[in-house]
Structure 1
Amino acid sequence: MRINSLPLRVRLTLLMAMILSIACFSLMAALIYTARIVYVAPQLVPKVSTSEEMGREPLPVTIPSVPPIPSAPPIPSVPPVLIEQQINFASTGFLCVILIIASGSVLTYRVAGGALKPVTDLSKEIEEIDENNLYRQVQVPPSKDEVSRLSISFNRMIRKLEKSFTAHKHFTANAAHELKTPIAAMLARIEVVQLGGPPSLEEYKEALQDTQCNAERLNILVHDLLRMNADLNVAACVTFSAKELFQSILSELAAEVQSKDIDIEVHLEDIPVYGERNLLHRAFSNILHNAIKYNKPNGSIQITGTRHPDTTRITIADTGIGIPEDQTDKIFEPFYCVDKSRSRELGGNGLGLSITKAVIDKHSGSIQVQSAMGMGTTFEVQLPNASTVY
């Protein structure tokens, strides 16, 4: 059986038993060695009697010309009594060591059970969570230990999962609605043509034109959904001029700019941008499209850029109708529209800024928005430079 497969309580007990065994046996060995040195060794050293102790006159000492070879001292023999005492001391000591290890292991097992009780309770609470109570949160112990922090982290994860699942549910419902609307319009138009009398050529043309418009709307919607989930092609990332990028975008939106007589100022001299040009073109085009669409007649748009050692910052500010403060953090959600009726009237589907956010995130950048009702909106995009990426 592998140690890692045992319960944590048992593993802690085995670890403590091993530590006690090493400590106790080491201490016992040291005691036995010390006892032999202190109490046994002095008794085995032979006592040498001097001539004064024997009551005789000391003999004169003569120094021979050649010193004699010293003989080895006699090896003293250990008395049987001392051997028996040593055996009794060692056996008694090892018996005490075994009792200490056993009692220490039992005590460790009981203490570990009490210490791990919050973990056990937390595990039981988590096991009771299923698909019927997926967002149920666990109780946080009053202590400020690791178990309390683990419970707080688990509850935070549950809230994130709930938010993610809710967003996914809303996305699915909104996507189904957006896809269903043009399909229902096409089917309704076809039924009108079929229910009437023999249709004329003009009626056929009108039906085909309506069907084509709804088909194009479906195509754009599907293309936008695919673009949101498309991976960044790192091989296609290059450094190019931000001024040329926005000149290309503004040329595509020239008709919309002229229709509302909007003044656009571009200050992007010597500002480089690194990334996949097609994706960034779409991202900034969506921001400018909204800045024009929701702007006031005779309004203005300012596009400025600043270069930093690690990032490039591009700011797009307009004088439009603005966004409510409580909705600025929701405008990047898929299919979200501040004013659904107005967005539908202007041909929006709520995916433009979601695609922009996805593109900026794929480039490891960031996008922030500041807005005030009736005053305008400012988007600030930061993109890393090529030197930072590599």
Structure 2
Amino acid sequence: MSRLRGAAAALALMLAPAVAPAQVSDEVVRIGVLTDLSGPYADFAGPGSVLATRMAIEDHGGRALGKPVEAIGGDHQNKPDVGGALARRWIDTERVDMIIDMPNSAVALAVQQVGRERNRIIINASAASTEITGRQCSPVGFHWVSDSYALSTGTTRAVMAQGGKNWFFLTVDYEGGYALERGAEAVVNAEGGRMLGRARHPLNTPDFSSFLLQAQASRAQVVALANAGTDTINAIKQAGEFGLTRQGQRLVGMFVNINDVKALGLATAQGVVTVEAWYWDQNEETRAFARRFADRNRGTPPSQYQAGIYSAVRHYLKAIEAAGTDEAMAVAARMRELPVNDVFTKNGRVRPDGRHVHDMYLVEVKRPEESTGPWDLYRVLSTVPADQAFRPLNEGGCPLVRP
């Protein structure tokens, strides 16, 4: 009888599925932060994105599956060819396993294609185009923080509810700006508003005079800025010099960040309404994280995108642990399965198209007399629930989504 039991046990062991050992390629998990280190998007992304990545690695313990995790940074110079070439070099020669950030949608889409071709995880944090999770979605591609749908539709609905019916768009001349304009225009048309004109400006232009004159001549109630970074800052400053707001036109920022508001000052930016994915002064947890970040960032708290990068890197490393490997497809599957609960969001989830969905927040820039500190800049007006904030899954055209 004992022999029979022994034979049965041996047979069971032989038939049991093999458990694959944990595997990390090249014995190191390498993360590349591809960002704008010195251009118009450096304040809300840039060096702060690299810092957020390193903080996420440290808070995870510095290792994944017992192997060290490293981060490197690089500047895409807002050029898709430069970003794509750097991504290929990182993957092919420096054995980078995941690339994150990519402010500038044209760069983001180029790098996502590289990740698809070379089977590497790509997490777009700071780009805006919904094409990242639309027709150009990728099985190893993700979009983490916000996008043009969340930014444009939420802001546009709020302003229209306050009586802003006639619109003029001042749009940066590349896909990210076009996407913001398309999303907002769809809401304007659907809710009975009117488009009175549009002007396209080059990226990082110092002179908005000709474009603002067109906006002024249109007599639109709302002048919407479908741009970002220093372009938004310069446009708002020069709009004040031209007297647009004094004449009754309202400036609305589709891609306003806390860094922009700080640079402008409350006297100039007060009353601007926008949508944010994260704000440092939401609760004690966000405030504690912001203090840690600011201590290493010359006193500046994280932008929504830098906080999102921290979240995405933590989620990626958790997915590696859950998958038992850093192989991209296996990790991507786990990233889509695991919930997201961290300092960035609670009860976030990743859809089949790679879109991380989470609550968004409608905010208004405070008046100078309302502010109690140098970074006390926003009043949170309302929460936009995750299922309303982002484009419905079946409307994006992502080939990964089954009808």
TM-based fold match above 0.5: no
Structure number with bigger Rg: 1
Which structure has more relative contact order (CA 8 Å, sep 6+)? It is: 2
Normalised-by-shorter TM-score class: under 0.3
More strand, by proportion: 2
TM-score of the aligned structures, taking structure 2 as reference length: 0.21
TM-score, L = length of structure 1:
0.21
**More helix per residue:** 1
